[in-house]
Amino acid sequence: MHDVIVKGILSSNNGMNIYRGCTHGCIYCDSRSLCYGIDHVFEDIEIKFNAVELLEDTLRKKRKKCMIVTGAMSDPYIHLEEKLQNTRRCLEIIDKYGFGLSILTKSNRILRDLDLLKSINNKAKCVVQMTLTTYDEELCKIIEPNVSTTKERFEVLKIMRDNKIPTVVWLSPILPYINDTEENIRGILDYCIEAKVKGIMVFGIGLTLRNGNREYYYKNLDKHFKGLKEKYITQYGDSYEVISKNHEKLMRIIKETCDKNDIIFGVREVFNYIRAFEEKNNEVQIGFDI
């Protein structure tokens, strides 16, 4: 790891990344793409040394409350978070100033901060987003080797449900010829139904490949799925979007399941829910004994 001093912590859409890089090792990771300008080894985590101070200064000056969103580019609960606790410190700031939170992770380390998530949700809105890609636990350990297993993430979703914290599942990416099966999709959807998730984010049945993450993905295909790289090259070439031949069938299953179980479906609709700030009236009613 290495420290950097940054000038800002929130994007124009109130997005925040406390770290840059990741140690989860997911074989499909888009954040490895060269277009994001990470100029260091991806596993050599960049620590934004002044992130907490910047966040407090920024939120203190904000005139209007909003949702603070984190986890899109770098998981806030990478392994180093256990020691550094920078994510927790940022959550404390968000809670202190009464802002909302939308946080995306693949790790059950988030349970360490359940007290803060509950507090934020009591004052405003806290949405915990969890990526689920693979119902098969053994396959999960291959394509997402250093993160909580799918079952462990499912347990997180149920704990959030029991604490009345809304959840969204990112059912993405789905890898052609690996986990693009009806059995896999229905298994994940069953988890979503039991956990009573608020929404499911799905961009399509497939993945995106750009310079940087394509090479890493193909390296892992050679390691774990012999001959599949050549099949990809023949079928998809250098395409950015790699769409499964099962796309239409599986998307129909997901939509029908969401409609039947009152789960928000559709990228725009889910994003609208995630970004909508809700301030709750928690005024204490004081009574006097006479």
pLDDT at position 288: 34
Nearest Cα to 18, choosing from 40, 53, 41, 47?
47
Strand residues in 23-148 grouped as ranges (E):
46-48, 67-70, 100-105, 126-131
Non-local (6+) Cβ contacts of 219 within 8 A are: none
pLDDT at position 287: 38
pLDDT at position 282: 55
Non-local (6+) Cβ contacts of 100 within 8 A are: 65, 66, 67, 68, 94, 120, 124, 125, 126, 127, 277, 278
Which tokens go with 35? 């277009």
CA atoms within 13 A on the CB side of 61: 7
pLDDT at position 279: 83
pLDDT at position 289: 36
Q: Does the predicted model carry a pTM greater than 0.95?
A: no
Print pLDDT tens along the chain (290 aa). 899 999 999 999 999 999 999 999 999 999 999 999 998 999 999 999 999 999 999 999 999 999 999 998 899 999 999 999 999 999 999 999 999 999 999 999 999 999 999 999 999 999 999 999 999 999 999 999 999 999 999 999 999 999 999 999 999 999 999 999 999 999 999 999 999 999 999 999 999 999 999 999 999 999 999 999 999 999 999 999 999 999 999 999 999 999 999 999 999 999 999 999 998 865 433 333 33
Q: Return d(Cα 114, Cα 37) in angstroms, integer.
A: 33
Q: Return d(Cα 13, Cα 125) in angstroms, integer.
A: 17
pLDDT at position 234: 97
Return the H-helix or E-strand segment holding 87: helix 86-96
Nearest Cα to 168, choosing from 118, 136, 202, 206?
202
Domains of the chain (ranges; CATH) run 2-275 (3.20.20.70)
Strand 100-105 relative to strand 126-131: parallel, antiparallel, unpaired? parallel
Angle, vertex CA 117, rays to CA 113 and CA 123, nearest 5:
150
In contact, 88 and 119? CB cutoff 8 Å: no
pLDDT at position 122: 97
pLDDT at position 191: 98
Strand residues in the chain grouped as ranges (E):
2-4, 15-16, 19-20, 46-48, 67-70, 100-105, 126-131, 167-170, 199-201, 206-208, 241-243, 264-265
Secondary structure (DSSP) of 128-146? EEEE---S-HHHHHHHSTT
Buried b (16+ CB within 10 A) or exposed e, 105-144: bbbbbbeebeebbbbbbebbbbbbbbbbbbbbeebbeebb
Q: Return d(Cα 191, Cα 169) in angstroms, integer.
A: 10
